[in-house]
Homo-oligomer: A and B are copies of this chain.
Amino acid sequence: MLNRVHLNGLRAVETVARLGSLAGAAAELSVSVSAVSQQVKRTEKQLGQALFERTPGGLVPTEFGAAFTARLSAGFRELAQAVALANETNECTLVVSVAPAFASKWLLPRLSRHFARHPNVLLRIDASARVADLDRSDIDIAIRLGDGKWPGGRAELLLAQEVFPVCAPSIAAKLKSIGDLAQTCAITDERAMFSWDGWFEAAGVEPVTFQKGARFTDPMLCLESAIAGHGVMLAWQLLTADALADGRLVAPFGIRAESGLGYWLVTSATKSESRKVRDFKAWIREEIEATMAQFRALDSAA
Protein backbone atom coordinates (compact mmCIF):
# COMPACT_ATOMS: atom_id res chain seq x y z
CA MET A 1 0.00 0.00 0.00
CA LEU A 2 2.80 2.35 0.93
CA ASN A 3 4.75 1.32 -2.12
CA ARG A 4 3.03 3.75 -4.45
CA VAL A 5 3.83 6.82 -2.34
CA HIS A 6 7.11 8.32 -1.24
CA LEU A 7 7.56 8.49 2.49
CA ASN A 8 9.38 11.80 2.33
CA GLY A 9 6.46 13.26 0.49
CA LEU A 10 4.07 12.10 3.18
CA ARG A 11 6.30 13.63 5.76
CA ALA A 12 6.32 16.92 3.91
CA VAL A 13 2.54 16.86 3.64
CA GLU A 14 2.16 16.09 7.32
CA THR A 15 4.48 18.85 8.38
CA VAL A 16 2.88 21.43 6.12
CA ALA A 17 -0.57 20.51 7.37
CA ARG A 18 0.55 20.70 10.98
CA LEU A 19 2.38 24.01 10.67
CA GLY A 20 0.09 25.58 8.11
CA SER A 21 2.75 26.89 5.78
CA LEU A 22 5.51 25.77 3.50
CA ALA A 23 7.94 28.07 5.20
CA GLY A 24 7.29 26.54 8.59
CA ALA A 25 7.58 23.03 7.27
CA ALA A 26 10.77 23.88 5.41
CA ALA A 27 12.29 25.13 8.65
CA GLU A 28 11.26 22.06 10.60
CA LEU A 29 12.56 19.71 7.94
CA SER A 30 15.58 21.93 7.38
CA VAL A 31 15.27 22.08 3.64
CA SER A 32 14.25 24.85 1.27
CA VAL A 33 10.67 25.97 0.76
CA SER A 34 10.96 24.93 -2.82
CA ALA A 35 11.80 21.38 -1.87
CA VAL A 36 8.74 21.09 0.35
CA SER A 37 6.52 22.55 -2.33
CA GLN A 38 7.67 19.95 -4.81
CA GLN A 39 7.25 17.11 -2.35
CA VAL A 40 3.71 18.12 -1.56
CA LYS A 41 2.80 18.44 -5.16
CA ARG A 42 4.26 15.09 -6.06
CA THR A 43 2.45 13.39 -3.22
CA GLU A 44 -0.85 14.89 -4.29
CA LYS A 45 -0.22 13.52 -7.73
CA GLN A 46 0.64 10.09 -6.40
CA LEU A 47 -2.51 10.00 -4.35
CA GLY A 48 -4.56 11.36 -7.22
CA GLN A 49 -6.11 13.77 -4.74
CA ALA A 50 -5.52 17.37 -3.90
CA LEU A 51 -4.72 17.68 -0.23
CA PHE A 52 -4.42 21.42 0.05
CA GLU A 53 -6.34 24.36 -1.22
CA ARG A 54 -4.03 27.10 -2.49
CA THR A 55 -5.27 30.30 -0.94
CA PRO A 56 -3.57 33.68 -1.01
CA GLY A 57 -2.78 33.24 2.67
CA GLY A 58 -1.09 29.88 2.19
CA LEU A 59 -1.90 26.21 2.01
CA VAL A 60 -5.12 25.10 3.66
CA PRO A 61 -5.94 21.40 3.87
CA THR A 62 -8.98 20.30 1.89
CA GLU A 63 -11.67 18.36 3.69
CA PHE A 64 -10.03 15.14 2.69
CA GLY A 65 -6.56 16.49 3.31
CA ALA A 66 -7.42 17.21 6.91
CA ALA A 67 -8.58 13.66 7.59
CA PHE A 68 -5.62 12.28 5.74
CA THR A 69 -2.97 14.32 7.50
CA ALA A 70 -4.50 13.57 10.89
CA ARG A 71 -3.76 9.94 10.19
CA LEU A 72 -0.30 10.75 8.97
CA SER A 73 0.47 12.75 12.07
CA ALA A 74 -0.44 9.78 14.24
CA GLY A 75 1.82 7.54 12.20
CA PHE A 76 4.80 9.84 12.25
CA ARG A 77 4.36 10.48 15.93
CA GLU A 78 4.70 6.76 16.45
CA LEU A 79 7.85 6.60 14.35
CA ALA A 80 9.34 9.55 16.17
CA GLN A 81 8.67 7.87 19.47
CA ALA A 82 10.42 4.77 18.28
CA VAL A 83 13.46 6.81 17.32
CA ALA A 84 13.32 8.69 20.60
CA LEU A 85 13.22 5.37 22.37
CA ALA A 86 16.31 4.37 20.45
CA ASN A 87 18.20 7.46 21.46
CA GLU A 88 17.19 7.08 25.03
CA THR A 89 18.12 3.43 25.15
CA ASN A 90 21.27 4.44 23.44
CA GLU A 91 22.20 6.81 26.19
CA CYS A 92 20.92 4.86 29.13
CA THR A 93 21.82 1.28 28.61
CA LEU A 94 25.31 0.04 28.28
CA VAL A 95 25.90 -3.41 26.86
CA VAL A 96 29.10 -5.06 27.98
CA SER A 97 30.29 -8.27 26.43
CA VAL A 98 32.55 -10.40 28.64
CA ALA A 99 33.60 -14.00 29.00
CA PRO A 100 31.36 -15.85 31.45
CA ALA A 101 34.20 -16.58 33.87
CA PHE A 102 35.30 -12.98 34.04
CA ALA A 103 31.73 -11.86 34.50
CA SER A 104 30.99 -14.14 37.36
CA LYS A 105 34.36 -14.15 39.14
CA TRP A 106 35.29 -10.52 38.96
CA LEU A 107 32.82 -8.22 37.26
CA LEU A 108 29.48 -9.13 38.80
CA PRO A 109 30.53 -8.74 42.45
CA ARG A 110 31.62 -5.18 41.63
CA LEU A 111 28.72 -4.14 39.44
CA SER A 112 26.59 -2.81 42.27
CA ARG A 113 29.15 -0.06 42.75
CA HIS A 114 28.77 1.01 39.12
CA PHE A 115 25.06 1.21 39.55
CA ALA A 116 25.48 3.22 42.76
CA ARG A 117 27.58 5.75 40.93
CA HIS A 118 25.52 5.89 37.70
CA PRO A 119 22.00 5.01 38.76
CA ASN A 120 20.47 6.03 35.43
CA VAL A 121 22.64 3.76 33.33
CA LEU A 122 21.22 0.34 32.91
CA LEU A 123 23.91 -2.26 32.40
CA ARG A 124 23.35 -5.33 30.34
CA ILE A 125 26.04 -7.96 30.60
CA ASP A 126 26.33 -10.11 27.55
CA ALA A 127 28.29 -13.07 28.91
CA SER A 128 29.12 -15.26 25.99
CA ALA A 129 32.18 -17.03 24.76
CA ARG A 130 32.11 -15.74 21.24
CA VAL A 131 33.33 -12.25 20.52
CA ALA A 132 30.69 -10.52 18.45
CA ASP A 133 31.57 -7.90 15.90
CA LEU A 134 31.32 -4.63 17.75
CA ASP A 135 30.17 -2.76 14.69
CA ARG A 136 27.34 -5.14 14.02
CA SER A 137 25.83 -5.79 17.38
CA ASP A 138 24.49 -3.57 20.06
CA ILE A 139 27.51 -4.22 22.26
CA ASP A 140 29.15 -1.05 23.50
CA ILE A 141 32.19 -2.50 25.21
CA ALA A 142 33.86 -5.87 25.18
CA ILE A 143 36.31 -6.94 27.86
CA ARG A 144 38.47 -9.70 26.56
CA LEU A 145 41.68 -11.50 27.28
CA GLY A 146 44.15 -11.23 24.47
CA ASP A 147 47.19 -9.56 23.04
CA GLY A 148 45.60 -6.26 22.18
CA LYS A 149 45.17 -6.96 18.50
CA TRP A 150 41.54 -6.64 17.55
CA PRO A 151 40.89 -6.05 13.90
CA GLY A 152 38.34 -3.31 13.57
CA GLY A 153 38.28 -2.46 17.25
CA ARG A 154 39.85 0.14 19.50
CA ALA A 155 41.60 -1.75 22.30
CA GLU A 156 42.93 -0.35 25.57
CA LEU A 157 44.91 -2.43 28.01
CA LEU A 158 43.19 -2.78 31.35
CA LEU A 159 45.74 -4.97 33.04
CA ALA A 160 48.53 -7.23 31.89
CA GLN A 161 47.75 -10.61 33.34
CA GLU A 162 50.12 -12.71 35.31
CA VAL A 163 49.53 -16.39 35.94
CA PHE A 164 50.43 -18.38 39.02
CA PRO A 165 49.37 -21.55 40.81
CA VAL A 166 46.49 -21.40 43.23
CA CYS A 167 44.90 -24.01 45.42
CA ALA A 168 42.84 -24.49 48.52
CA PRO A 169 44.66 -23.68 51.81
CA SER A 170 44.48 -27.36 52.81
CA ILE A 171 46.57 -28.29 49.79
CA ALA A 172 48.92 -25.35 50.08
CA ALA A 173 49.84 -26.56 53.55
CA LYS A 174 51.51 -29.61 51.97
CA LEU A 175 53.49 -27.60 49.43
CA LYS A 176 56.76 -26.67 51.01
CA SER A 177 58.65 -26.44 47.70
CA ILE A 178 57.87 -26.41 44.02
CA GLY A 179 58.94 -30.02 43.80
CA ASP A 180 56.01 -30.98 46.02
CA LEU A 181 53.75 -30.22 43.10
CA ALA A 182 54.58 -33.65 41.76
CA GLN A 183 52.50 -35.10 44.58
CA THR A 184 49.44 -32.98 43.74
CA CYS A 185 46.82 -33.09 41.00
CA ALA A 186 46.78 -30.40 38.30
CA ILE A 187 43.42 -28.94 37.45
CA THR A 188 43.53 -28.25 33.74
CA ASP A 189 41.55 -25.87 31.59
CA GLU A 190 41.67 -27.46 28.17
CA ARG A 191 40.98 -24.18 26.46
CA ALA A 192 43.59 -22.26 28.41
CA MET A 193 45.79 -19.91 26.44
CA PHE A 194 48.95 -20.71 28.40
CA SER A 195 50.70 -23.67 30.01
CA TRP A 196 52.60 -24.56 33.14
CA ASP A 197 55.90 -24.46 31.26
CA GLY A 198 55.86 -20.71 31.26
CA TRP A 199 55.44 -20.59 34.97
CA PHE A 200 58.17 -23.13 35.69
CA GLU A 201 60.47 -21.08 33.53
CA ALA A 202 59.61 -17.93 35.47
CA ALA A 203 60.25 -19.85 38.69
CA GLY A 204 63.58 -21.01 37.28
CA VAL A 205 62.96 -24.71 37.85
CA GLU A 206 62.58 -27.77 35.69
CA PRO A 207 58.97 -28.57 34.82
CA VAL A 208 57.34 -30.89 37.30
CA THR A 209 55.00 -33.70 36.29
CA PHE A 210 51.72 -33.63 38.14
CA GLN A 211 49.42 -36.39 39.19
CA LYS A 212 46.53 -36.81 36.83
CA GLY A 213 43.77 -34.37 37.75
CA ALA A 214 40.45 -33.04 36.60
CA ARG A 215 40.16 -31.47 33.18
CA PHE A 216 37.56 -28.86 32.26
CA THR A 217 36.67 -26.81 29.25
CA ASP A 218 35.66 -23.85 31.35
CA PRO A 219 37.92 -21.73 33.54
CA MET A 220 35.08 -21.15 35.99
CA LEU A 221 34.76 -24.84 36.73
CA CYS A 222 38.51 -25.08 37.23
CA LEU A 223 38.34 -22.37 39.81
CA GLU A 224 35.46 -24.04 41.64
CA SER A 225 37.35 -27.28 41.56
CA ALA A 226 40.44 -25.65 43.01
CA ILE A 227 38.44 -24.03 45.79
CA ALA A 228 36.94 -27.44 46.53
CA GLY A 229 40.48 -28.69 47.12
CA HIS A 230 40.83 -30.97 44.13
CA GLY A 231 44.29 -29.80 43.20
CA VAL A 232 46.42 -26.95 41.96
CA MET A 233 45.53 -24.84 38.99
CA LEU A 234 47.39 -22.21 37.04
CA ALA A 235 45.15 -19.17 37.20
CA TRP A 236 44.76 -15.68 35.90
CA GLN A 237 45.37 -13.00 38.42
CA LEU A 238 42.09 -11.21 38.09
CA LEU A 239 39.82 -14.21 38.23
CA THR A 240 41.24 -15.33 41.55
CA ALA A 241 41.32 -11.95 43.22
CA ASP A 242 38.26 -12.42 45.39
CA ALA A 243 38.96 -16.03 46.30
CA LEU A 244 42.48 -15.06 47.37
CA ALA A 245 41.24 -12.07 49.33
CA ASP A 246 38.84 -14.07 51.44
CA GLY A 247 41.16 -17.03 51.83
CA ARG A 248 39.24 -19.63 49.85
CA LEU A 249 42.34 -19.91 47.70
CA VAL A 250 45.97 -19.23 48.36
CA ALA A 251 48.87 -18.68 45.97
CA PRO A 252 51.79 -20.82 47.10
CA PHE A 253 55.43 -19.93 46.26
CA GLY A 254 54.61 -16.31 45.46
CA ILE A 255 56.06 -16.63 41.98
CA ARG A 256 54.11 -15.08 39.13
CA ALA A 257 54.73 -15.43 35.41
CA GLU A 258 53.93 -12.88 32.74
CA SER A 259 51.45 -14.44 30.37
CA GLY A 260 52.06 -12.01 27.57
CA LEU A 261 48.32 -11.50 27.49
CA GLY A 262 46.10 -9.10 29.31
CA TYR A 263 42.58 -7.92 29.81
CA TRP A 264 41.69 -5.43 27.17
CA LEU A 265 38.80 -3.15 26.85
CA VAL A 266 37.61 -3.09 23.25
CA THR A 267 35.26 -0.58 21.70
CA SER A 268 34.14 -0.10 18.13
CA ALA A 269 36.60 1.90 16.07
CA THR A 270 33.82 3.49 14.07
CA LYS A 271 31.28 4.53 16.68
CA SER A 272 32.16 7.64 18.61
CA GLU A 273 32.65 7.19 22.33
CA SER A 274 29.60 8.18 24.32
CA ARG A 275 29.30 9.44 27.84
CA LYS A 276 28.17 6.14 29.28
CA VAL A 277 31.17 4.39 27.77
CA ARG A 278 33.61 6.93 29.16
CA ASP A 279 32.00 6.62 32.58
CA PHE A 280 32.23 2.86 32.49
CA LYS A 281 35.87 2.96 31.50
CA ALA A 282 36.73 5.30 34.35
CA TRP A 283 34.84 3.12 36.79
CA ILE A 284 36.44 -0.12 35.71
CA ARG A 285 39.93 1.33 35.95
CA GLU A 286 39.26 2.29 39.52
CA GLU A 287 38.02 -1.19 40.26
CA ILE A 288 41.10 -2.72 38.69
CA GLU A 289 43.26 -0.43 40.78
CA ALA A 290 41.38 -1.47 43.93
CA THR A 291 41.87 -5.12 43.08
CA MET A 292 45.58 -4.58 42.50
CA ALA A 293 45.88 -2.81 45.85
CA GLN A 294 44.29 -5.89 47.38
CA PHE A 295 46.96 -8.04 45.82
CA ARG A 296 49.73 -5.84 47.09
CA ALA A 297 48.26 -6.01 50.58
CA LEU A 298 48.26 -9.81 50.42
CA ASP A 299 51.82 -9.83 49.11
CA SER A 300 53.16 -7.72 51.87
CA ALA A 301 51.26 -9.77 54.46
CA ALA A 302 52.93 -12.90 53.16
Contact = CB atoms under 8 A, between A and B. Distances in A.
A63 B137 CA distance: 11
Nearest to A138: B50
A8 interface: yes
B86 A81 contact: no
Number of this chain's copies in the assembly equals 2
Contacts of A136: 44, 50, 54
A83 B47 contact: yes
Given A78-B75, A90-B47, A83 B138 contact: no
B76 A75 contact: yes
B53 A137 contact: yes
Residue in A7, A53, A76, A82 whose Cβ sees the most chain B Cβ within 10 Å: A82
A90 B139 CA distance: 48
A84 interface: yes
A72 B82 contact: yes
Given A75-B79, A78-B78, A79-B72, A90 B48 contact: yes
Interface string A1-40: 1111101101100000000000000000110000000000
A83 to B, nearest CB: 5
A68 interface: yes
A51 B89 CA distance: 12
Interface residues of A, number: 53
Nearest to A8: B7
15 contacts: A1-B83, A1-B84, A1-B87, A2-B79, A5-B83, A10-B82, A47-B87, A49-B90, A49-B138, A50-B136, A50-B137, A51-B138, A75-B79, A75-B81, A78-B78
Contact of A80 (B1, B65, B93, B137): B1
Interface string A116-146: 0000000010000000110011110000000
A108 interface: no
Chain A to chain B: the 7 pairs with minimum beta-carbon distance, closest first: A75-B78, A71-B82, A75-B79, A7-B7, A50-B138, A1-B80, A47-B86
